[in-house]
Amino acid sequence: MTAAASTDADLIAAHANGDPNAFGELVRRHRDRMWAVALRTLRDPEEAADALQEAFISAFRAASSFRAESQVTTWLHRIVVNACLDRIRRRQARPTVPLPETGPGEPVAAGDDMADRETRLVVADALASLPEEQRVPIVLVDVEGYSVADTAKLLGIAEGTVKSRCARGRAKLAKVLGHLRNPSADANVPDGTTQMGPDGGATRFLEGR
């Protein structure tokens, strides 16, 4: 039942029916893509690996509740994102632990066109340099393609706050990536290192789900 030709939905069904190998095949199919999502969201490789492990174990246990009308990748993606956001929430609950301000950039697969690889490395580095409260909404909306409404629900914040944080983050990225060339315009972009929130600063990044 774990033949390469099986669809993801077939594998989930086989797993729910007791096939001991089906879930492992599913993990192998999606591991690298989900690893990129976790690393992009959390920046720290150890944390990303732990979050991914938690997510796949959750998915393993919840597979029987998977509904065929949704895509397996969408379902898995949501579980991984939630596992990452849970980790960020736990991190915020420990105020004595400083948040990492910089982290390793997102790895880029070998074999792609060199210019494309370089561009993606630069973009990934720029994204990693954003403060967390701006980086995570941008990852969800601009990179992963979640709607503003879904992102607001995932983060437990208002839709307007998602838009505002995305706006600030994009302006900084446009500057860092060299798309903003007008010096007078450039002067209006907040510095990339600022930790001030777009709402005035002291608001929490994530609320409870």
Partner 1 sequence: MTGIDRPPHSRGGAPMGPPWPVDVLADLHAGVLEPEVAQQLWPRVRQDPDAVAVLDALDATRAELSGLAAARPAPMPAHFAARLDAAIAAEAAQRAPMRVAAPPMPIAPVVDLARARRKRNQRLGWATGILVAAAAVAVAVISIPRGAAPGTPSATAPLTLHSGQVNGVTLAAAIGHTDYGPFADPARRNACLAANHVDPSVTPAGVMRVTLDGTPGVLFVLPTGRLAEYRLLVVGDNCDTGNANQLDSVTVGGTAATPTR
User: Which residues lie near partner 1 (CB under 8 A)?
Assistant: 18, 20-21, 23-24, 27-28, 31-33, 35-36, 40, 45-46, 49-50, 52-53, 56-57, 60-61, 106-112, 116, 119-120, 123-124, 127, 138, 142-145, 148, 160, 163-164, 166-168, 170-171, 173-175, 177, 179-182, 184-190
Closest to partner 1 by CB, 91 or 168: 168
Q: Shortest gap between Cβ of 159 and partner 1 (angstroms)? A: 9
Start-to-end Cα distance in the chain = 37
Q: Shortest gap between Cβ of 200 and partner 1 (angstroms)? A: 14
Cα–Cα distance, 83 to 67 (Å, whole number): 20
Closest to partner 1 by CB, 187 or 202: 187
- Residue closest to 200 by CA, chosen among 161, 166, 170, 173: 161
Distances (CA, A) of 94 to 47, 74, 89, 111, 164: 15, 31, 9, 41, 26
Q: Shortest gap between Cβ of 208 and partner 1 (angstroms)? A: 24
Residues 6+ apart with CB under 8 A from 167: 198
Closest to partner 1 by CB, 21 or 102: 21
Closest to partner 1 by CB, 99 or 121: 121
Q: Shortest gap between Cβ of 142 and partner 1 (angstroms)? A: 4
**Single-letter amino acid, residue 197:** G
Closest to partner 1 by CB, 57 or 97: 57
Displacement of CA 69 from its chain's centroid (Å): 24
Q: Shortest gap between Cβ of 106 and partner 1 (angstroms)? A: 7
Q: Shortest gap between Cβ of 82 and partner 1 (angstroms)? A: 17
Cα–Cα distance, 75 to 115 (Å, whole number): 33
Closest to partner 1 by CB, 99 or 123: 123
CA atoms within 13 A on the CB side of 29: 20
Count of other CB atoms within 10 angstroms of residue 101: 13
